[in-house]
Amino acid sequence: MMYGFGDDPNAHKAQDIGSKRGKLSVDDFLYLIRKDLPKLNRCTELLSMQEELKQARKAFEVDEEKLGTLE
């Protein structure tokens, strides 16, 4: 059986941490991988890229109601 990024087959640690608050968050996973620097760096890189893409998409959003009133 294959595990993504060599993870544990039963990833219950994140579930245990999240169940105390009732909800899993990204910070829970970052906390668990804090000792594995390559994984932590890759995750933070992907999260920052996600924010950049979100901001770029927001910049190109077009409000169609405003376009209709301008014509």
φ, ψ for residue 57, nearest 5 deg: -65, -40
In a domain, 23, yes or no: yes
Whether 3 is in a domain gets the answer no
Stated pTM of the model: 0.59
Please check whether residue 33 is in contact with residue 45, taking contact to mean a CB–CB distance below 8 angstroms: no
* Structural domain range at position 17: 9-61
Domains in the chain: how many in total? 1
Integer-rounded Cα Rg, in Å, for the chain is: 19
Residue 2 lies in a domain: no
Q: Which pLDDT tens digit goes with each residue over 18-69? A: 676 777 788 888 988 899 999 999 999 999 999 999 999 988 877 777 766 7
Let me know if residue 14 belongs to a domain. Answer: yes
Tokens of 23: 């909800």
Q: What share of the chain is helix, strand, coil (3-state, %, to 5)?
A: 70, 0, 30
